[in-house]
Amino acid sequence: MADIRLVRVDFRLIHGQVITKWFGTTRANQIIIIDDELSKDPFMASIYEMSAPPGAKVTVFSVEKAVEEWNKNQLGDGKLLVLFKNVNQIYSAWELGFPFKEIQIGGLGSAPGRKVVFGPITLNDEDAKKLKQMNDNNVRVYLHQVPEEGSAELIDVLKKNNFDI
């Protein structure tokens, strides 16, 4: 069974903060990207593989395949950093039975209908509703950009930003 060190939602997937901060902090040796679109694009998947730290194994799964692999062998061996591009996909994985204990929201970019809620992290009503549902069902959801800065619990962020959910 794999040792999941961190599950993070970040629209940038593998990028500077993940590589320089979280990958080292978690002492992971593998990165699992769970993204339906990227799983169908071998060229882009190879770009992310090349962006990983030296010696780090990168695997890209669709949501359905990730849940299937979890059910088959708990994603194998290793110390994993699991990345999702957006809330919809992590919610789908959770609904299909991926057993999250904690979810770190690290980067959700700006767009119409989104509110800046913690540093540069944004949420819209749909994201807030899905994350709250997971949080209400024993999944700790928190927002955290980089290890050396503070984090915030989802419920506190929702209250502070007047989400009506």
* pLDDT at 1 > cutoff 90: no
Q: Are 113 and 135 in contact (CB under 8 A)?
A: no
* The architecture CATH gives domain 3-107+140-149: 3-Layer(aba) Sandwich (3.40)
pLDDT of residue 31: 95
Domain range list for the chain:
3-107+140-149
Q: What is the pLDDT of residues 48-102, one digit of tens each?
A: 999 888 889 999 999 999 999 999 999 888 999 999 999 999 999 999 999 899 9
Q: What is the pLDDT of residues 113-160, one digit of tens each?
A: 899 999 889 999 999 999 999 999 999 999 999 898 999 999 999 999
**Alpha-carbon gap, residue 152 to 158, rounded angstroms:** 10
Q: Report CA dihedral (141, 143, 144, 149) to the nearest 10 degrees.
A: -120
pLDDT of residue 14: 87
